[in-house]
Amino acid sequence: MPQWQFVAFNPKAAETVLVPAQQALRSKDVDAWQSAYDKLSQFHPSAITGYAGQLYPRSKPITSWYVEVSRDQVPDENSDKLKSLLMLFLEAIAAYRVVSKMSKPRVWAAIGGELAWKSIWKSEAEAEEHKLLMKEIFDLQKSVPDPFWFVRTRYISSTYVAPEAVQRLAATEKQTNFLRRLGSGLDGELGMIGYDMARLGLVIELAALEGLALHYQEPGT
């Protein structure tokens, strides 16, 4: 069941690990890569809670989840397994993490998706905030700054939202209260996407307060 995941993390802290890793990959330096790999091996993803409330501990190092990425051989920079490993690193260092309750929420959140958003918006300001949300998070990014190149992948929707963009989104939400309103503004089954978007709004506000970046990913949409 594809769900979206947002993690809020300190990009400067992430760069202390990602910059050496990217430099090792580009230079094909085995010693430098082994050093970067050993650093990545020190991180562990947190436990996750399943849709029905089951708890899944994940105590092994993030490198053990992607055994195809070898310590002894410098991987290709465009390896999908490598990209997944580095996205798991962002999750492991996250200050905040939120997972959607709804399946394939992006197709519901999209302005041209499953909902008649024009009838849901209560003002032009809400419409503009929704468009900004799509632009900064959900639309395909033409480029991603180093060393976060790996969030672009063929198999999942995935973006990097820089702290400056997070600040813009939070400032807009503070003015309109759009996302918070959606938490109680939709009825029945469609209320689930409103709930998910309201939670996203809270994560955006928390990230903005602390100067954090966001990583969004959602398989299969």
Query: What is the chain's pLDDT, residue by residue, as a tens digit (221 residues)?
Result: 678 999 999 999 999 999 999 999 999 999 999 999 999 999 998 776 665 666 676 778 999 999 999 999 999 999 999 999 999 999 999 999 999 988 889 999 999 888 889 999 999 999 999 999 999 999 988 899 999 999 998 778 999 999 999 999 999 999 999 999 999 877 776 788 999 999 999 999 999 999 999 999 998 75
- Ramachandran angles phi, psi of 83, nearest 5°: -60, -40
Task: Give the pLDDT of residue 46.
Answer: 79
Q: Whole-prediction pTM value?
A: 0.92
Task: Give the pLDDT of residue 55.
Answer: 67
Long-range CB contacts for residues 32-37, cutoff 8 Å, separation at least 24: 33/71, 33/74, 33/75, 34/71, 34/72, 37/63, 37/69, 37/71
How far, in Å, CA of 172 to CA of 164, rounded?
13
How far, in Å, CA of 220 to CA of 156, rounded?
6
- Which among 158, 157, 140 has a CA at the least distance from the CA of 148? 158
Q: 103 and 218 in contact (C-beta within 8 Å)?
A: no
How far, in Å, CA of 50 to CA of 29, rounded?
40
> Tokens at residue 3, please?
């769900």
| The residue type at 168 | R
